[in-house]
Amino acid sequence: MSETAEIDESLYSRQLYVLGHKAMLCLQNTNVLISGMRGLGVEIAKNVVLAGVRSVTVHDEEEAQWGDLSSQFFLKESDVGKNRAECCEPHLAELNAYVQVASYTGSLNQHYLSAFQVVVLTNSSLDEQLRIGTLCHSKNIRFIVADTKGLCGLLFCDFGEEFVVSDPDGEQPRSALVLNISKDNPGVVSCLDEEAHGFQNGDQVTFSGVFGMTELNNRPPVKIEVLNDYEFSIDDTSGFMAYKEGGMVTEVKMSQTFSFKPLSESIKDPEIVMTDYCKEEQHKTLHVAFQALHRFVQMTKRLPKPRAEDDAQLLIEIAKQITWKCPVNEEVVRQFAFGAMGDLSPVNAFIGGLAAHEVMKACSGKFTPLRQWLYFDALECLPEDASDCRLTEETCSPRGSRYDGQIAVFGSAFQEKLSRQKLFMVGAGAIGCELLKNFAMMGLATEKGGNITVTDMDSIEHSNLNRQFLFRLQDVGKMKSITAAKAVRKMNPSLRITARQDRLGPETSDVYGDQFFSKLDVVFTALDNVEARVYVDGCCVEHQKPLLESGTLGTKGHTQVIVPFLTRSYGKVPDRQENAFPLCTLKNFPYAIEHTLQWARDTFEQLFKTSAENVTRYFQDPGFVKNPLKQGSAEALGVLEEVYDSLVTWKPNNWTDCVSWARNQWERLYNNNIMQLLHNFPEKSVSSSGKPFWSGTKRCPRTLNFDPDNATHMNFIVAAANLFANTYGIKGTRNHQEIAETLKIVIVPEFTPKSGVQIFTTDDEMKKETVDDNRLEEAMKKLDTLQKVGIFKMNPIEFEKDDDTNLHVDFIVAASNLRAENYYIPPADRHKSKLIVGKIIPAIATTTAAVVGLVCLELYKVIQGHKKLSLYRDSFINLATAYYAQFLPSAAPVYKVTGLDRTFTLWDHFAVQGYRDGTEMTVEELLSHVKKNHSLEVTDLFYENAAIYLSKSKNREERLRQRVSEAVCAATKEDIPETLSVLKLIANIEGLDNDDELPPILYYFRKAKPE
């Protein structure tokens, strides 16, 4: 593909927000070879193909074996005995029509390798690695080695003597508002103290929108020295004009050059990137262990047998003979040897995700590459008891099973336990697809008694195909959960999976209630929003079920393991408003592009959605004119005037009227409103304290003059006119020349600012806004006098960010950048604007694979029932900067209730079996039970927001005699759903402060409490 090739944004949209167009074009000009098509190799190949390189050639000289099915998700049982690469080729080609996929089964010689820019070796000998590594280094071919053995893995990168990185971290350039710049040598720049500037020593920055010291504007980047969180120095400014006001300082990303040692040199003195700082010496031992393993294979022509003590001892002796600068922990080497024949899908997913991302770095020159070795182990996944009798040479030996790679590590008994697991997964998007693939390879829920329930209410979109690898082009429009379940059954026909399309929330508690959760072993979240995660977390806490949580944001990812009574939960989040910016900032005082984008989004809603909806309501609701009064006089007036304008003032009769409306809206938004603002607050005005009004975050704006030759001006007119026409069912045109001709006859009234117009400077002032009753009454009368002949219906427009042909994003970009020009704010291109206003979560397949690998390793521990907190790991990774951190989860906080000599955690509750021998407890019996069994005197009892028993109420005696469920119905005035068998009750206790947090009472009233 040439450098001028177009990028299919409908497919790569989420990835483009991670890489950018330039890096994406580099990918599309790169040929990659991946050698070794066992589980790790195909994981790398899958992610690289999804990434969109020009071509991927998969190489393997060997035939598939039964054990490969443990992690090679593109192999079927019928493929055993066939060449691995040839079997994988059609499946990989199906992932991405833009990538040329080929297979190769011959030897890797110099002539053949010279056609590739990146070479990846997996499942290779040390001799082959050294030979090809030396060749690649001499030919400036990027070279990567990846390997996994059981619960351990390695990654090595050599990108040559001089590897230039254009953007080391992929983050948006930092920026800050300027408060002052001194005339000095060096000049000191002071930034607003709203938040720290975030710059670092040596950063290079540019200035824009500076008044007074204009010499800094549009100047080449200047290096800074940070003085503190709010100040930094630049070069000599003593000869410049004096600083007056305004200005923004923005970081300029500078390229970095990295130098790599060839494998033959680096192997003897390795630079190792840590993945777990609790295991620094352990990672160094693994460097020796992997090299010792090569020698072991060279000597014996095989890998160490599972749990074979003699083989392990031989590997230890070989490791001790290696004299490199690394320690040898014999126990680590022993455990490494015991599992060396293992082939685990989660480990392959993690190392494969990392390796594929290094391929992308090698192709694009974006992000900081791995320097140069990475070792990883999850040996804590093994049984807590090191002497566990279930792990022996016999129980871990091959059985001719597709799960032999897993049995080699965990034994046959654990494999049987995996097959009977009952899992619940919420979400079937990118993370969900990867989870299901791992579940299938691990053999979860493959026998009677096991089941995986997956729910997702979304359908497949074209943009999903780039990272949700279970879906294909022909699946677009189908339901995710059903399609994913069908696809994953092809990988493992024994998988028992139920696909649903429910949203998990209070409205589906009848489906996902106590009866459902009581049968589960583990819950997974594969969600993209915090609120849904919090809800699932609450269900798991209430039902005391382990939860495995994970998420990604571009190159960043996290995992969290939540174990009842052992760790803290995902936790609650405070209520947050959808719009985090102060309304006054958006309306009158923006100072960042995020503000103008939100303003443009709000303007879109008001002009093309809410006005049309209100007109429809006006015709359908007889009481419409008076209904808005419930919102307050100011809001009511706005609604009424908006409807009148839509029906009378601006109601168009033809397309020319729509263009006229758009042109006058342009004038109102970017000239008239600014003129009025400056009339109220002139440039030199001061506040009540004597300080300049236009200072700090308040940036003095300027008016704009319409120019039909200005592309942004015309983009606004074209988008606004067409969207406005659409709301009235009028056909428009996007021909700029035709619209420009129409504009010549449009009349734009001259505007004169008015005195007495109130403009608010704070949100508190806006909340207190009132309007003259006469003006409100006049607006109501004007609407009442209109003739409601028939029903006039307008077409409200729902903002849709993913359709680039509907002009929605065009309007937002133009509207935002024009307002940014009003306030001297640097504009944002379409790509950045769409990311911000569409609240798009950047995503890439490599991060997803790595994160899912880590979370599935925690599943091994949960299923085994590990009791020690020290054996679990939460994690945070950033593939862009090669940062990988695993750390211990936070322990469940223990709290003591005032007045009780007892401690609790959030996992505790008082379980009461209220249904016995066909009858249910009365409220009095429940209170007696709690007193007898828990020594607690209940004074008040609540269900949700209803009081079902109050010790000081007049109906106390009546409530005591009622069955608990009857009392609940009486208090809530609602029937209890038939599917609900447990009531969560909150009690106030005698002698305790009502603010004390006492565990709830879980009252089982329809059946025995499940075990």
Average pLDDT, the chain: 90
Q: Percent helix, strand, coil in the chain (nearest 5)?
A: 40, 15, 40
Domain of 705 in residue numbering reads as: 596-837
Q: Is the pLDDT confidence value at 170 over 80? A: yes
Does the annotation count 584 as an active-site position?
yes
Copy the structure tokens of residue 986: 């909150």
Quote the CA–CA distance of 277 and 380 in Å, as a whole number: 14
530 and 427 fall within a common domain: yes
Rg, Å, the chain Cα set: 33
What pLDDT band is residue 456 in, cutting at 50, 70 and 90? very high
C-alpha separations of 18 from 359, 831, 847 in Å:
15, 11, 11
186 upstream amide cis, omega within 30 of 0: yes
pLDDT at 193: 74
Least confident of 315-329, 626-640, 951-965: 626-640
Residues 608 and 523 in one domain: no
Q: Would strands 982-989 and 373-377 be described as parallel, antiparallel, or unpaired?
A: unpaired
176's tokens: 């800050």
pLDDT single digits (tens) 467-487: 899 999 999 999 999 999 999
Convert the pLDDT of each residue in 362-376 to its tens digit.
999 999 999 999 999
Query: Does residue 1000 come out as left (phi exceeding 0), alpha (psi in the -120 to 50 range) or beta?
Result: beta
Residues 543 and 623 reside in one and the same domain: no
Q: Please check the confidence at residue 621 and state whether its pLDDT lies above 90.
A: no
pLDDT per position as a tens digit, 407-454: 999 999 999 999 999 999 999 999 999 999 999 999 999 999 999 999
Q: Is the pLDDT of residue 75 over 80?
A: yes
Q: Is the domain of 827 the same as that of 848?
A: no
b/e sequence 377-411, b meaning 16+ C-beta within 10 Å: bbbbbbbeeeebeebeeebbbeeebbbbbbbbbbb
Plot region of 899 (φ>0 → left; ψ -120 to 50 → alpha; else → beta): left
Q: Is residue 422 part of a domain?
A: yes
pLDDT digits (tens, 9 = 90+) for 851-894: 999 999 999 999 999 999 999 999 999 999 999 999 999 999 88
In what helix (H) or strand (E) does residue 714 lie, and over which residues does it extend? helix 711-727
Residues in the chain: 1011
Q: Is residue 389 part of a domain?
A: no
pLDDT digits (tens, 9 = 90+) for 22-33: 999 999 999 999
Query: At 205, which CATH number?
Result: 2.40.30.180
pLDDT of residue 3: 42
738 lies in the same domain as 793: yes
Residues 636 and 683 reside in one and the same domain: yes
Q: What is the pLDDT of residue 629?
A: 54
- Considering 837, 862, 883, which residue would you say is the last residue of a domain? 837
pLDDT in the model for residue 749: 93
- 392 lies in some domain: no
Residue with tokens 């020690």: 868
**pLDDT digits over 599-610, tens only?**
999 999 999 998
Does residue 823 share a domain with residue 903?
Answer: no
Helices (H), 772-904: 773-784, 808-822, 830-837, 845-864
pLDDT band at 575 (very low <50, low <70, confident <90, very high): very low
489-493, 609-613, 665-669, 677-681, range with the lowest pLDDT: 609-613
Both 620 and 757 in one domain: the answer is yes
Looking at the fold, whether 854 and 900 belong to one and the same domain comes out as no
- What string of DSSP letters covers 474-533? GGTTSBHHHHHHHHHHHH-TT--EEEE-PPPSGGGTTTSSHHHHTT-SEEEE--S-HHHH
Considering its fold, how many domains does the chain have in total? 4
Examine the domain organization and report whether 859 and 950 are in the same domain. no
For position 941, which CATH number holds? 3.10.290.60
**Cα distance from N-terminal residue to C-terminal residue, the chain:** 61
The whole-angstrom separation of Cα 878 and Cα 357 is 11
* pLDDT at residue 445, as a whole number: 97
With a cut of 80, say whether residue 626 has pLDDT above it: no
pLDDT reported for residue 787: 61
Residue 781 lies in a domain: yes
- Mean of pLDDT values over 502-514: 86
Give CA–CA dist 381/442, Å, rounded: 14
Query: What's the pLDDT at 692?
Result: 87
Max Cα separation, the chain? 99
In a domain, 186, yes or no: yes
Tens of pLDDT along 704-740?
999 999 999 999 999 999 999 999 999 999 999 999 9
pLDDT digits (tens, 9 = 90+) for 205-253: 999 889 999 999 989 999 999 999 999 999 999 999 999 888 889 999 9
CATH code of the domain containing 560 = 3.40.50.720
Strands across the sheet containing 910-913: 910-913, 1001-1004, 982-989, 938-943, 946-950
- 100, part of any domain: no
Residues 685 and 808 placed together within one structural domain of the fold: yes
Evaluate whether residue 383 is within a structural domain: no
Among 26, 381, 540, 584, the active-site one is 584
| Pair (512, 639) in one structural domain | no
CA 260 – CA 273 distance, rounded (Å): 14
The beta-carbon contacts of 445-449 under 8 Å, at least 24 apart in sequence, are 445/419, 445/420, 445/421, 445/495, 445/496, 445/497, 446/418, 446/419, 446/492, 446/494, 446/495, 446/496, 447/416, 447/419, 447/420, 447/494, 447/496, 448/420, 449/420, 449/422
Report the CATH number at residue 743.
Answer: 1.10.10.2660
pTM beyond cutoff 0.85? yes
**Tens digit of each residue's pLDDT (9 = 90 or more) over 317-363:** 999 998 776 778 999 999 999 999 999 999 999 999 999 999 999 99
